[in-house]
Amino acid sequence: MSAPRADQRVRETLRNQRIELPSWAFGNSGTRFKVFAQPGVPRDPFEKIADAAQVQRYTGIAPLVSLHIPWDTVEDYGKLAEHAAALGVSIGVINSNTFQDDDYRLGSVCHPDPAVRRKAIEHLKDCLRIMAATGSDALKLWFADGINYPGQDDLTDRQRRLADALDEVYDALTGEQRILLEYKLFEPAFYATDVPDWGTAYAHTLRLGPKAKVVVDTGHHAPHTNIEFIVAFLIAQGKLGAFDFNSRFYADDDLMVGAADPFQLFRIMNEIVLADAVTPDSGIGFMLDQCHNIEPKIQAQIRSVLNVQEATAKALLVDRDALALAQREGDVLGANAILMDAYNTDVRPLLADLRVEMGLDPDPVAAYRRSGYLEKVIDERTGGVAAGWGA
Amino acid sequence: MSAPRADQRVRETLRNQRIELPSWAFGNSGTRFKVFAQPGVPRDPFEKIADAAQVQRYTGIAPLVSLHIPWDTVEDYGKLAEHAAALGVSIGVINSNTFQDDDYRLGSVCHPDPAVRRKAIEHLKDCLRIMAATGSDALKLWFADGINYPGQDDLTDRQRRLADALDEVYDALTGEQRILLEYKLFEPAFYATDVPDWGTAYAHTLRLGPKAKVVVDTGHHAPHTNIEFIVAFLIAQGKLGAFDFNSRFYADDDLMVGAADPFQLFRIMNEIVLADAVTPDSGIGFMLDQCHNIEPKIQAQIRSVLNVQEATAKALLVDRDALALAQREGDVLGANAILMDAYNTDVRPLLADLRVEMGLDPDPVAAYRRSGYLEKVIDERTGGVAAGWGA
Amino acid sequence: MSAPRADQRVRETLRNQRIELPSWAFGNSGTRFKVFAQPGVPRDPFEKIADAAQVQRYTGIAPLVSLHIPWDTVEDYGKLAEHAAALGVSIGVINSNTFQDDDYRLGSVCHPDPAVRRKAIEHLKDCLRIMAATGSDALKLWFADGINYPGQDDLTDRQRRLADALDEVYDALTGEQRILLEYKLFEPAFYATDVPDWGTAYAHTLRLGPKAKVVVDTGHHAPHTNIEFIVAFLIAQGKLGAFDFNSRFYADDDLMVGAADPFQLFRIMNEIVLADAVTPDSGIGFMLDQCHNIEPKIQAQIRSVLNVQEATAKALLVDRDALALAQREGDVLGANAILMDAYNTDVRPLLADLRVEMGLDPDPVAAYRRSGYLEKVIDERTGGVAAGWGA
Amino acid sequence: MSAPRADQRVRETLRNQRIELPSWAFGNSGTRFKVFAQPGVPRDPFEKIADAAQVQRYTGIAPLVSLHIPWDTVEDYGKLAEHAAALGVSIGVINSNTFQDDDYRLGSVCHPDPAVRRKAIEHLKDCLRIMAATGSDALKLWFADGINYPGQDDLTDRQRRLADALDEVYDALTGEQRILLEYKLFEPAFYATDVPDWGTAYAHTLRLGPKAKVVVDTGHHAPHTNIEFIVAFLIAQGKLGAFDFNSRFYADDDLMVGAADPFQLFRIMNEIVLADAVTPDSGIGFMLDQCHNIEPKIQAQIRSVLNVQEATAKALLVDRDALALAQREGDVLGANAILMDAYNTDVRPLLADLRVEMGLDPDPVAAYRRSGYLEKVIDERTGGVAAGWGA
Greatest CA span in chain C, whole angstroms? 66
Q: Which chain D residue's Cα is nearest to C103?
A: D36
Residues of D in contact with C190 (CB under 8 A): 248-250, 253, 255
Residue A261, chain D, CB below 8 Å: the answer is: yes
Residue D162 has pLDDT above 60, yes or no: yes
B41-76 burial string, b = 16+ CB within 10 Å, else e? Answer: bbbbbebbbbbbbbbbbbbbbbbbbbbbbbbbbbee
Which of C295, C332, C344 lies nearest to residue B333, judging by beta carbons? Answer: C295
For D102-111, what is each residue's pLDDT tens digit? 999 999 999 9
Q: Name residues whose C-beta falls within 8 Å of residue B155's C-beta, 6 or more positions apart in sequence.
A: B192, D228, D229, D232, D233, D271
Q: Name residues whose C-beta falls within 8 Å of residue D86's C-beta, 6 or more positions apart in sequence.
A: none
Average pLDDT over chain C reads 96
User: At C1, is the pLDDT very low, low, confident or very high (cuts 50, 70, 90)?
Assistant: very low
d(CA A232, nearest CA chain C) in Å? 6
pLDDT for C391 equals 52
For B138-169, what is each residue's pLDDT tens digit? 999 999 999 999 999 999 999 999 999 999 99
Average pLDDT over residues C109-137: 97
Give a three-class secondary structure readout of chain A.
CCCHHHHHHHHHHHHHCCCEEEHHHHCCCECCCCECCCCCCCCCHHHHHHHHHHHHHHHCCCCEEEEECCCCCCCCHHHHHHHHHHCCCEEEEEECCCCCCHHHHHCCCCCCCHHHHHHHHHHHHHHHHHHHHHCCCEEEECCCCEECCCCCCCHHHHHHHHHHHHHHHHHCCCCCCEEEEECCCCCCCCCEECCCCHHHHHHHHHHHCCCEEEEEECCCCCCCCCHHHHHHHHHHCCCEEEEEECECCCCCCCECCCCCCHHHHHHHHHHHHHCCCCCHHHCCEEEECCCCCCCCHHHHHHHHHHHHHHHHHHHHHCCHHHHHHHHHCCCHHHHHHHHHHHHCCCCHHHHHHHHHHCCCCCCHHHHHHHHCHHHHHHHHCCCCCCCCCCC
* Phi and psi at residue D57, to the nearest 5°: -55, -40
Chain C window 297-326: which residues touch A at a Cβ cutoff of 8 Å? 323-324
d(CA A365, nearest CA chain D) in Å? 10
Residue C50 has pLDDT above 60, yes or no: yes
Residues of A in contact with B248 (CB under 8 A): 190
User: At D391, is the pLDDT very low, low, confident or very high (cuts 50, 70, 90)?
Assistant: low
* Phi and psi at residue C93, to the nearest 5°: -80, 145
Residue C15, chain D, CB below 8 Å: the answer is: no
Contact B198, B214 (CB under 8 A): yes
CA–CA distance from B115 to each of B103, B104, B118, B119, D329 (Å)? 10, 11, 5, 6, 13
Which of A152, A203, A333 lies nearest to residue C202, judging by beta carbons? Answer: A203
Q: Based on the structure, what is the number of domains in chain B?
A: 1
Which of D106, D190, D248 lies nearest to residue C248, judging by beta carbons? Answer: D190
Residue B183, chain D, CB below 8 Å: the answer is: no
pLDDT for A111 equals 98
Looking at the domain assignment, is residue B304 inside a domain? yes
User: At A5, is the pLDDT very low, low, confident or very high (cuts 50, 70, 90)?
Assistant: low
pLDDT for B1 equals 41
Residues of C in contact with A340 (CB under 8 A): 150-151
Contact C232 A324 (CB under 8 A): no
CA–CA distance from D242 to each of B254, D98, D214 (Å)? 37, 20, 7
Q: Which chain A residue's Cα is nearest to C226?
A: A192
The whole-angstrom separation of Cα A82 and Cα B283 is 67
Contact B255 A144 (CB under 8 A): no
For C339-362, what is each residue's pLDDT tens digit? 999 999 999 999 999 999 999 999
Looking at the domain assignment, is residue B230 inside a domain? yes
Contact A335 C152 (CB under 8 A): yes
Residues of C in contact with B299 (CB under 8 A): 333
Looking at the domain assignment, is residue B262 inside a domain? yes
Contact B226 D196 (CB under 8 A): yes
pLDDT for A391 equals 52
Contact B148 A29 (CB under 8 A): no
Which residue(s) pair with D35 in the sheet? D30
User: At D389, is the pLDDT very low, low, confident or very high (cuts 50, 70, 90)?
Assistant: confident
Contact A154 C339 (CB under 8 A): no
Contacts 24+ apart (CB under 8 A), A205-211: A205/A179, A205/A181, A205/A239, A205/A241, A206/A239, A206/C206, A207/A163, A208/A166, A208/A167, A208/A170, A208/A179, A209/A170, A210/A238, A211/A170, A211/A173, A211/A177, A211/A178, A211/A179
Which residue(s) pair with B67 in the sheet? B94
The whole-angstrom separation of Cα B147 and Cα C5 is 61
DSSP conformation class of B247:
B
The whole-angstrom separation of Cα D187 and Cα D197 is 13
Residue D37, chain C, CB below 8 Å: the answer is: yes
Q: What percent of chain C has pLDDT over 70?
A: 98
Nearest to C127 by CA among C115, C113, C141, C114: C141
pLDDT for C389 equals 86
DSSP conformation class of C342:
H
Looking at the domain assignment, is residue B331 inside a domain? no
Residue A228, chain C, CB below 8 Å: the answer is: yes
Cα A290 to its chain centre, rounded Å, is: 8
Give a three-class secondary structure readout of C157-171.
HHHHHHHHHHHHHHH
Q: What is this structure's pTM?
A: 0.98
Q: Kindly calculate the radius of gyration of chain A based on its CA atoms and give it in whole angstroms.
A: 21
Dihedral sign computed on CA atoms, order D154, D160, D164, D169: positive
User: At C5, is the pLDDT very low, low, confident or very high (cuts 50, 70, 90)?
Assistant: low
Q: Are strands C20-22 and C30-31 parallel, antiparallel or unpaired?
A: unpaired
Residue A2 has pLDDT above 50, yes or no: no
Q: Which chain C residue's Cα is nearest to D28?
A: C32
Average pLDDT over residues D16-45: 96
Average pLDDT over residues C232-246: 98
Chains linked to A by 3 or more Cβ pairs within 8 Å: B, C, D
Contact D110, D117 (CB under 8 A): yes
Q: Are strands C30-31 and D178-182 parallel, antiparallel or unpaired?
A: unpaired
- The CATH code of the domain that includes A247 is 3.20.20.150
Which residue(s) pair with D181 in the sheet? D141, D214
Residue D296, chain A, CB below 8 Å: the answer is: yes
Chains linked to C by 3 or more Cβ pairs within 8 Å: A, B, D
Contact C192 A274 (CB under 8 A): no
Which of D153, D223, D232 lies nearest to residue B223, judging by beta carbons? Answer: D223
Contact A188 B259 (CB under 8 A): no
Looking at the domain assignment, is residue C390 inside a domain? no
pLDDT for D265 equals 98
Residues of C in contact with D37 (CB under 8 A): 102
Average pLDDT over residues A333-345: 98
Residue A250, chain D, CB below 8 Å: the answer is: yes
Chain A window 109-138: which residues touch C at a Cβ cutoff of 8 Å? 112-113
- Each of the 391 residues of chain B gets a pLDDT tens digit; together they read 445 566 899 999 999 999 999 999 999 999 999 999 999 999 999 999 999 999 999 999 999 999 999 999 999 999 999 999 999 999 999 999 999 999 999 999 999 999 999 999 999 999 999 999 999 999 999 999 999 999 999 999 999 999 999 999 999 999 999 999 999 999 999 999 999 999 999 999 999 999 999 999 999 999 999 999 999 999 999 999 999 999 999 999 999 999 999 999 999 999 999 999 999 999 999 999 999 999 999 999 999 999 999 999 999 999 999 999 999 999 999 999 999 999 999 999 999 999 999 999 999 999 999 999 999 999 999 888 999 986 5
Q: Which amino acid is at B275?
A: A
Residues of D in contact with B225 (CB under 8 A): 197, 222
Contact C228 A148 (CB under 8 A): no
pLDDT for D2 equals 46
The whole-angstrom separation of Cα B98 and Cα B120 is 6
For B54-106, what is each residue's pLDDT tens digit? 999 999 999 999 999 999 999 999 999 999 999 999 999 999 999 999 999 99
Q: Residue B177, by phi and psi: left (phi above 0), alpha (psi -120 to 50) or beta?
A: beta
Contact D295 A333 (CB under 8 A): yes
Residues of D in contact with B233 (CB under 8 A): 155-156, 159, 199-200, 203
Q: What percent of chain D has pLDDT over 70?
A: 98
Q: Name residues whose C-beta falls within 8 Å of residue D306's C-beta, 6 or more positions apart in sequence.
A: D59, D351, D364, D365
For A131-150, what is each residue's pLDDT tens digit? 999 999 999 999 999 999 99
The whole-angstrom separation of Cα C209 and Cα C207 is 6
Residue D102 has a CB neighbour count (10 Å cut-off) of 9
Domain that holds residue A147: 9-313+375-380
d(CA C92, nearest CA chain D) in Å? 23
Residues of A in contact with C335 (CB under 8 A): 149, 151-153
Which residue(s) pair with D94 in the sheet? D67, D139
Contact A191 B249 (CB under 8 A): yes
Q: Which chain B residue's Cα is nearest to C339?
A: B259
Looking at the domain assignment, is residue B326 inside a domain? no
Average pLDDT over residues A80-97: 97
Which residue(s) pair with A68 in the sheet? A95
pLDDT for B381 equals 96
Looking at the domain assignment, is residue D356 inside a domain? no
Looking at the domain assignment, is residue B21 inside a domain? yes
Greatest CA span in chain B, whole angstroms? 66
Contact A333 D299 (CB under 8 A): yes
Q: Kindly calculate the radius of gyration of chain B based on its CA atoms and give it in whole angstroms.
A: 21
The whole-angstrom separation of Cα D346 and Cα D344 is 6
d(CA D100, nearest CA chain C) in Å? 6
d(CA A295, nearest CA chain C) in Å? 30
Chain C window 264-283: which residues touch D at a Cβ cutoff of 8 Å? none
Contacts 24+ apart (CB under 8 A), C273-276: C273/C312, C273/C315, C273/C316, C273/C318, C274/A154, C274/A156, C274/C232, C274/C320, C275/A156, C275/C232, C275/C235, C275/C236
Interface test with D, best of C250, C256, C307 (most D CBs within 10 A): C250
